[in-house]
A and B are shown apart, each in its own frame.
Chain A
Amino acid sequence: DAKTTQPTSMDCAEGRAANLPCNHSTISGNEYVYWYRQIHSQGPQYIIHGLKNNETNEMASLIITEDRKSSTLILPHATLRDTAVYYCIVRVRDSGTYKYIFGTGTRLKVLA
């Protein structure tokens, strides 16, 4: 079962910030939150990940609430090429294997 809940779809105007929320209320203390995106017909592309602290890289920022029950991915200046399905993933450890538990993601459409 997926450990994350995301809105099915969102729209964002080009040039504006896209804020994608994710709920992971059952996350455990040592489980990381990862974000990937998938552009049509391609493999998922890594964006960012975090455990407790907010993180930023050249692609995005990740804001994790203090209780770790939710997070938000921020694309600061969305472009048309950011149109994709965005997956919020909890990485769990199951019998020695680190597994990504995928949900169905948020379909982000960036509008011109």
Chain B
Amino acid sequence: GAGVSQSPSNKVTEKGKDVELRCDPISGHTALYWYRQRLGQGLEFLIYFQGNSAPDKSGLPSDRFSAERTGESVSTLTIQRTQQEDSAVYLCASSHLADTQYFGPGTRLTVL
């Protein structure tokens, strides 16, 4: 079946601009996660959605970062007033409840 998809695959933006990154989880998966991966590093947890529960935003690095999810479908990660240190690959994963997470291909964000 279809896996997790993310768009765009690459995004280049200027410092100070806002960006939106999209994630389409695997159909039927109740949980959705966003991670950030800086060059040569492991993944950093950003935010977690589980069904209709309040999201766990404990990993968001600043108030410039926010995310939304409609029900158990698409999620959007928004970064406002981008900074150069926001340059990274942003990865989305989904799972059924607390089971194994399956990752998308990521969005590579470059802030000039």
Contact = CB atoms under 8 A, between A and B. Distances in A.
B56 A45 contact: no
13 contacts: A2-B42, A43-B4, A43-B104, A43-B106, A44-B103, A46-B100, A95-B58, A97-B50, A99-B45, A100-B45, A102-B35, A102-B43, A104-B42
B68 to A, nearest CB: 17
A104 B37 CA distance: 10
Contacts of A97: 48, 50, 56, 58
Interface residues of A, number: 21
A103 B91 CA distance: 16
Interface in A4-52: 34, 36, 42-46, 49
Contacts of B106: 42-43
B42 A45 contact: no
Given A95-B56, A100-B45, A42 B105 contact: yes
How large, as a class, is the contact surface on chain B?
A: 20 to 34
A99 B45 CA distance: 8
B94 to A, nearest CB: 11
Given A95-B56, A99-B48, A105 B42 contact: yes
A87 B35 CA distance: 15
Contacts of B4: 43
A11 to B, nearest CB: 19
B73 interface: no
A44 B91 contact: yes
Nearest to B9: A41
B58 to A, nearest CB: 7
B56 A100 contact: no
Contacts of A36: 103
